[in-house]
Amino acid sequence: MFTGIIEEIGSVKRVSVGGKSGSIEIAAKKVLDGTKVGDSIAVNGVCLTVTSLGSSSFTADVMAETLRRSSLGSLSLGNGVNLERAMAADGRFGGHLVSGHIDGTGTISKMQKEENAVWVHIQANSEILNLIVEKGSIAIDGISLTVAGVSDSEFSVSVIPHTAKETTLLSKKAGDTVNLENDIIGKYVQKLLGGRSLGASEASDSVKDDKFLSWLSED
């Protein structure tokens, strides 16, 4: 389990993908401290198991399902990646519950600067948007962010200077792909409702009124 608070930006040292699976080596510093083979590290939000360690890097296997669901297969030598070790039991919980299991990808449609922040608009499919609500949480490339707005075709977040400095998000541009993980609580609620879902804008509105509560009380 992770929190979505990025610890450092690592660098892709090697990508080896043959067929539908492969391995990836990431140059890093901070996340290597205390890490051993078998531990989990989130790479751009994808939970990967460390298979080998060097003095300045770690290697992890990437299975076919991971490549289908995420953007890891498009990484190239030297690309920066967001890194976070699994949450320690005695650590601070600064973000939100992030499993490291990507739901899919989205595409950055535009970025707009507003004072000291930057608005990032991301297009995604309906399965992902249906579980996004305004002022709720989402992980973008492993970064815990608050949803500022959502429609039936995209959602937006506002990125503060600290997040911009400590992550790779604002190094991207319109057209780039990002990994997305919905808030796990929303997934459980949808499952309990038998898979029933509202449109993205309607779901966001339901948080502001009593629709959600009446939903749960239906026979």
Q: Would you kindly state where each structural domain of the chain is located, as residue ranges?
A: 8-85, 104-208
Phi, psi of 32 (to 5 degrees): -80, -20
The whole-angstrom distance between residue 118's C-alpha and the CA centroid of its chain comes to 18
Return the DSSP state at 196. Answer: -
Tell me how far apart the alpha carbons of residues 201 and 100 are, in angstroms, rounded to a whole number.
26
Closest CA to 5 of 71, 69, 104, 85: 85
The model carries a pTM of 0.86
CATH assignment, 104-208: 2.40.30.20
8-85 and 104-208 have identical folds: yes
- pLDDT per residue, tens digit, the chain (219 aa), is 899 999 999 999 999 887 788 999 999 999 999 999 999 999 999 999 999 999 999 999 999 999 889 999 899 999 999 999 998 877 777 889 899 999 999 999 999 999 999 999 999 999 999 999 999 999 999 999 999 999 999 999 999 999 999 999 999 999 999 999 999 988 888 888 886 555 555 555 554 555 544 545 554
Residues 8-85, CATH architecture = Beta Barrel (2.40)
